[in-house]
Chains A and B, each alone.
Chain A
């Protein structure tokens, strides 16, 4: 008796209508979810303002408009506010690269905050110890020291993950707090502590600091004449370092064997193992590299901004490490995505003070917005919503073209669904074979 053979229909292959259309589809599917998440979170933030009515003198809707326009004015409304925003964006980019490169390998680096702290501390210690060195030796040494310290901090977590199977989320959280209290100890102790019990370190000497962009501009175009006020335009050259770091990140991920290997590990650890990719070595390396990037976030911020010193108990309150998770997810771990997302999150942070002074809305509203962005990005409820919509409202595009990496609609997260089951199995599989 003949078994009826079910005819499988060939998947519908629609040729792209035009080059422009295919490009729009490619980037649209990549941009869609993050933009949607941000818009939803902003709407939710507006609802919070409407419910709580922080400014009783105006009606709630005006209050929302005031708040969001103040948020924009305070972040990108003028050249000086853009400069203030970039001051926040630069460490955020470094820290986000740290989180993103670990994501690519299927690892969750919650430890950017701690790696940033040890990086800043290492740079500070080098800068305060070798005060007599000339700038062109001292500054690279400090940056290297911060990379090294961060790499060690991240590398510990990577080592424990690769060789002992300890979950990197747990180890990086523990290492964070060790870093926070350890740096508090060093900041308060001689020889780095400033006198008179100020719980700060001594300020770095001028030869250990990065110049503000305004200062460099004055040097080049004004023969030292103060064309731009360095107090108004605070942003320092580290923003250029951050952009270079983004290019390096892009290069590592998409143009090197190592980048290819960690992407395979992140997407399918078993396939990586059977392809002969040294999984353990790469897990250790990627966490060390992640730590190095986060360390740079600490040192460049220390060396670039006036004060040029570290304050005790400041690191545990610093939001950069956790903002970086939001940025990496929002930017879908791509270099250009990280740039855009850190401009957004950094802008929210820097505009929040203006929101308070101009619209009487507490700056902590941006924390609520940021948390909601994270929820909306993390929850795969976009398909659920799409299904719930009536057919005529559903977005028309179909992501049939899966030819490029850019077109990925979701970030492969460690610990999400079967991916983690595989990575968990992979470590235990390795254990069994030995």
Chain B
């Protein structure tokens, strides 16, 4: 009985569609995390950057919509605002942890608290009577591109060709980041800065600049994911709407052994866990089984850290502020 339902859930196109949507949502901040950690700056603030992105996308989209701007332009401006907002949060993290050499974990925790406080506060201030924003109409959501006959393919069509536009952008970014990190000069430099900044500095690499760029790009990607969540999937903004997704992305970074493709596979596994949790809920006499299934990403990460499935080691200089002239 159980395995029958599980099997049906596993081959169902709905499960995989949900899984891929969820995975795409996670992979963007996870890629940001990979870039940032590879350059030697610990980033546990993807949650906050994503939340800021959610907020900015909804508010800017609505702002321009109320000004009477064309719908699709509103959405584009919303996405750009989200990317920018994530980038600004990341810039704070960069300044505090690279220039002021703050503890990067404290800074990350502070960013998460700051993002939660700022978005909730501004939501109250900026909306009439502080009651929050309404749900966005469908015309103000990120579009689902039409693939013509491809979307009619029985199983594959639903799973792959009826996704939101950000899904395809996320795949492109994934390939791009993997290529950037492992096939280009800049990628080599980023990895060198994360492993041994002194050596990289000697070889003429601008350590601070590179770390700045990497941290900021993690914010840009997290912001984009925020836009995807807010004006792509949910269509509204709620206080703390990211609800720990930034932390799952962090889990994916580590589970994926700090590589883009690894993180993407991790996101897919977590997404599949999420996709399966819905049909499996109906199965048990206890409908709360989904709570246990939601612990899956975190349990997997712990197991990966224990070293049963190969050991995960962070970049050598991860989390250590660079002091020129040491060593």
Could you list which residues of chain A lie within 8 angstroms of chain B, going by C-beta atoms? Answer: 48, 52, 54, 108, 110, 156, 160, 164-167, 169-171, 173-178, 180-182, 184-185, 188-190, 316-317, 322, 325, 329, 362, 364-368, 370-372, 374-375, 377-381, 384, 413-418, 420-421, 424
Q: CB within 8 Å of A: which of B43-89? A: 44
Whether the Cβ atoms of A416 and B125 lie closer than 8 Å is no
With CB as the reference atom, state the residue of chain A lying closest to B251.
Answer: A174
Whether the Cβ atoms of B288 and A371 lie closer than 8 Å is no
Whether the Cβ atoms of A185 and B113 lie closer than 8 Å is no
Shortest Cβ distance from residue A427 to the other chain B in the assembled complex, whole angstroms: 11
Whether the Cβ atoms of A173 and B247 lie closer than 8 Å is yes
Chain A interface: which of B97-105, B167-175, B222-230, B261-269? B97-105
Residues of B within 8 A of A178 (CB): 295, 298-299, 302
- Given A371-B110, A421-B320, answer yes or no on A362-B130 (Cβ-Cβ < 8 Å): yes
A417 and B288 CA atoms in complex are apart in Å by: 44
Contact with B314, one of A156, A167, A379 (Cβ below 8 angstroms): A167
Whether the Cβ atoms of A170 and B254 lie closer than 8 Å is yes
A contact patch SS: helix
Residues of B within 8 A of A325 (CB): 106, 109
**Interface residue B294 (Cβ < 8 Å from any Cβ of A):** yes
A154 and B279 CA atoms in complex are apart in Å by: 34
Whether the Cβ atoms of B106 and A170 lie closer than 8 Å is no
- Given A169-B105, A367-B114, answer yes or no on A164-B307 (Cβ-Cβ < 8 Å): yes
- Given A185-B291, A188-B291, answer yes or no on A322-B298 (Cβ-Cβ < 8 Å): no
Query: Count of A-B contacts with CB under 8 A?
Result: 169
Shortest Cβ distance from residue B212 to the other chain A in the assembled complex, whole angstroms: 16
Whether the Cβ atoms of A362 and B120 lie closer than 8 Å is yes
With CB as the reference atom, state the residue of chain A lying closest to B306.
Answer: A164
Whether the Cβ atoms of A420 and B320 lie closer than 8 Å is yes
Q: How large is the interface on B (under 10, 10 to 19, 20 to 34, 35 or more residues)?
A: 35 or more
Whether the Cβ atoms of A171 and B291 lie closer than 8 Å is no
Contact with B106, one of A48, A175, A372, A377 (Cβ below 8 angstroms): A377
Whether the Cβ atoms of B117 and A181 lie closer than 8 Å is no
Residues of B within 8 A of A316 (CB): 243-244
Greatest chain A CB density within 10 A among B120, B124, B312 is at B124
**Interface residue B138 (Cβ < 8 Å from any Cβ of A):** no
Contact with B305, one of A54, A166, A380 (Cβ below 8 angstroms): A166
**Interface residue B214 (Cβ < 8 Å from any Cβ of A):** no
Contact with A52, one of B111, B122, B319, B326 (Cβ below 8 angstroms): B122
With CB as the reference atom, state the residue of chain B lying closest to A169.
Answer: B105
**Interface residue B24 (Cβ < 8 Å from any Cβ of A):** no
B contact patch SS: helix
* A-B residue pairs in contact (CB < 8 Å), sample of 7: A52-B122, A166-B305, A176-B247, A178-B295, A362-B124, A368-B121, A378-B102
Residues of B within 8 A of A329 (CB): 106
Whether the Cβ atoms of B288 and A188 lie closer than 8 Å is yes
- Given A160-B302, A329-B106, A415-B103, answer yes or no on A379-B96 (Cβ-Cβ < 8 Å): yes
Contact with B292, one of A176, A182, A420 (Cβ below 8 angstroms): A182
Shortest Cβ distance from residue A58 to the other chain B in the assembled complex, whole angstroms: 15
Whether the Cβ atoms of A166 and B306 lie closer than 8 Å is yes
Shortest Cβ distance from residue A246 to the other chain B in the assembled complex, whole angstroms: 22
Shortest Cβ distance from residue A133 to the other chain B in the assembled complex, whole angstroms: 28
A372 and B116 CA atoms in complex are apart in Å by: 13
- Given A175-B302, A370-B113, A416-B321, answer yes or no on A378-B292 (Cβ-Cβ < 8 Å): no
A297 and B278 CA atoms in complex are apart in Å by: 34
Whether the Cβ atoms of A380 and B102 lie closer than 8 Å is yes
Whether the Cβ atoms of B105 and A177 lie closer than 8 Å is no
**Interface residue B185 (Cβ < 8 Å from any Cβ of A):** no
**Interface residue B286 (Cβ < 8 Å from any Cβ of A):** yes
Closest 10 CB pairs of A and B: A367-B117, A371-B114, A379-B100, A374-B110, A362-B124, A378-B106, A364-B120, A185-B291, A166-B305, A378-B102
- Given A416-B321, A417-B321, answer yes or no on A170-B301 (Cβ-Cβ < 8 Å): yes
**Interface residue B141 (Cβ < 8 Å from any Cβ of A):** no
